Amino acid sequence: MPRLLCPAFGLVALLCTFAMTANADDKKTEKAFDDAEFVMKASEGGLYEVQVHTLATKMAKGEELKKHATMMLKDHTKMNAELKKVATATGMKVSTKLDAKHTKKLETLKALKGAEFDKAYLDDQIEDHEEDIKEFTKASEKAKTPALKELATAALPTLKDHLEMVKKSAEEKSDKKPVK
């Protein structure tokens, strides 16, 4: 019996070593946070937010949704200005035009009308704000530039409020269960 246990313990030790090495390799491949990359990505997203909310103020079917779009337009315009200020002060660049992904999303929304526009806009905003919250949370924890870390931290409550607002609007426009 003891002879059988030795190889079994050896196998367990080998598997534990492999698991620890694999875990360490996973941590090595996780990309380090890059402040300049975050600024570029956030500024591209910010430009999109301004354009999509401007579009929604004109094309949304309901007045309540237009009111929400106007509020988010104001908030994102302010966030864009603050991001540009931090970027300029620290020598980082901001995007001055929409990237291909955001241009395509905007063109798709422009082609829709009425309730179809409202649904697509709300779905887009839920997805977009969930991603923004994830990225801004990461920046609030990992940014090396203190002013950028502060900006990301300060923006999170507004982004979370926007997400809850668009989820609530989507729920009210749908006969389905609450959006999660």
Of 11, 86, 98, the residue nearest 47 (C-alpha): 98
Same domain? For 135 and 88 the reply is yes
Same domain? For 41 and 18 the reply is no
**Would residue 179 count as lying in a domain?**
no
Q: How far apart are CA 106 and CA 121, in angstroms?
A: 10
**Would residue 177 count as lying in a domain?**
no
Same domain? For 25 and 42 the reply is no
SS3 29: helix
33 DSSP assignment: P
Q: pTM value?
A: 0.79
Counted domains in the chain = 2
At residue 136 the predicted structure's pLDDT band, cuts being 50, 70 and 90, is very high
Same domain? For 18 and 74 the reply is no
**Would residue 165 count as lying in a domain?**
yes
**Would residue 178 count as lying in a domain?**
no
- For residue 26, give the H/E element and its range: helix 2-29
pLDDT tens digit sequence for 2-55: 555 444 444 344 334 444 444 444 455 668 999 999 999 999 999 999 999 999
SS3 102: helix
At residue 177 the predicted structure's pLDDT band, cuts being 50, 70 and 90, is very low
**Would residue 89 count as lying in a domain?**
yes
The rounded Cα 98 to chain-centroid distance in angstroms is 16
Task: Tell me which residue range forms the domain holding 88.
Answer: 35-172
Same domain? For 76 and 19 the reply is no
How would you label 16-43 residue by residue, b for 16+ Cβ within 10 Å and e otherwise?
eeeeeeeeeeeeeeeeeeebeebbbbbb
**Would residue 180 count as lying in a domain?**
no
Identify the weakest region by mean pLDDT among 22-31, 51-60, 125-134, 151-160: 22-31
Q: How far apart are CA 28 and CA 30, in angstroms?
A: 6
Residue 106 and residue 52 in contact, taking contact as beta carbons nearer than 8 Å: yes
The residue to which tokens 């660049």 are assigned: 93
Same domain? For 64 and 93 the reply is yes
Same domain? For 1 and 87 the reply is no
Same domain? For 72 and 110 the reply is yes
Same domain? For 167 and 136 the reply is yes
Same domain? For 69 and 140 the reply is yes
Same domain? For 111 and 145 the reply is yes
Q: How far apart are CA 97 and CA 20, in angstroms?
A: 44
Supply 125's token pair.
């905003």
Same domain? For 18 and 92 the reply is no
